[in-house]
Amino acid sequence: MTKRTPLIAGNWKLNKTIDESKALAGAIAAHVGAGLACEAVVGPVATSFAAVKQSLEGSAVGLAAQNTHWEDSGAWTGELSPTLLVDAGCGYCIIGHSERRQFFGETDEGVRKKVGALLVHKVVPILCVGESLEQREAGKTLDVVLGQIDAATEGYDAVALAPLVVAYEPIWAIGTGLTAKAEDAQEVHAAIRGRLAELKGQSWADSVRILYGGSVKPSNADELLSQPDVDGALVGGASLTPDNFIPIIDAGVRRAES
């Protein structure tokens, strides 16, 4: 079986001032230190990139952006680009988060272009996919999720897509305290991996990290991460305090060492 390095990613969303971000990043970096069996990254708001980067210096924790445009520069008021993310020290970028799809009109085609732009700039895309409660209740979970996977990867080959990370985030579980049962998450993760294999080949599919996101917390992290196709977590609310996020990183380490 392919050994995949677990990834624990924190999405701070629209939270934390520069000073608060520095303090949180510093606490996480101090716990993690210079070496870690899994990967850990934090995604602050862009105004805190420089300060967080400084706090993470010397630690194994990476820096993630929460969004990007697909263009490098130009007349795109309010946007960030992959070039600027690299300049700011971001090695990862979350894209296609359900909040962006829902509230900012992000489309499958826009997400696809962002995947390509990030790959060109060697920023790891953390591609979010997930179904709404209505879609789940209508039995459409796999149609929706696999459709998002198809759309986001279209036109790129397995070599270009090598660094891609997928995050399965059922929308009904985000910020609600509801979590998918570990077996239900596994079922969707296995289906995603199966589709990746059909699209671009089994060996690439076996190497892709598929994270689970949706109310992950210290008390459920180990169970979710014990599933064979759950390779890490994308964490919102519980990434905002060291007391919650550090034990989830520790669960990632246990997964790596299992």
Provide CB contacts within 8 A for 38, sequence distance 6+: 5, 6, 7, 8, 232, 249, 252, 253, 255, 256
- What dihedral angle (degrees, nearest 10) is formed by the CA atoms of 224, 124, 28, 88? -160
Least separation in angstroms between residue 218's CB and ligand PEP is 12
Q: Which of 39, 99, 106, 169 is catalytic?
A: 169
Give the interface segment with ligand PEP, choosing from 37-45, 149-157, 191-199, 233-241 (CB under 6 A): 233-241
C-beta separation of 129 from 148 below 8 A? yes
**Quick one: how far is CA 118 from the chain centroid?**
14
Give the interface segment with ligand PEP, choosing from 53-61, 67-75, 184-192, 229-237 (CB under 6 A): 229-237
Least separation in angstroms between residue 174's CB and ligand PEP is 4
Assigned token pair, 20: 């608060």
Span 192-221, contacts to ligand PEP by CB under 6 A:
213-216
Q: How far apart are CA 124 and CA 143, in angstroms?
A: 25
Q: Which of 69, 97, 106, 131 is catalytic?
A: 97
Q: Which of 7, 8, 11, 95 binds ligand PEP (CB under 6 A)?
A: 11
Least separation in angstroms between residue 166's CB and ligand PEP is 13
Report which residue's Cβ sits closest to ligand PEP: 236
Sign of the torsion angle spanned by Cα atoms 239, 254, 181, 243: negative
Q: How many chain residues touch ligand PEP (CB under 6 A)?
A: 13
How many alpha carbons fall within 13 Å on the CB side of residue 99?
Answer: 13
Residues carrying an active site annotation: 97, 169
Residues that bind ligand PEP (CB under 6 A): 11, 169, 174-175, 213-216, 234-238
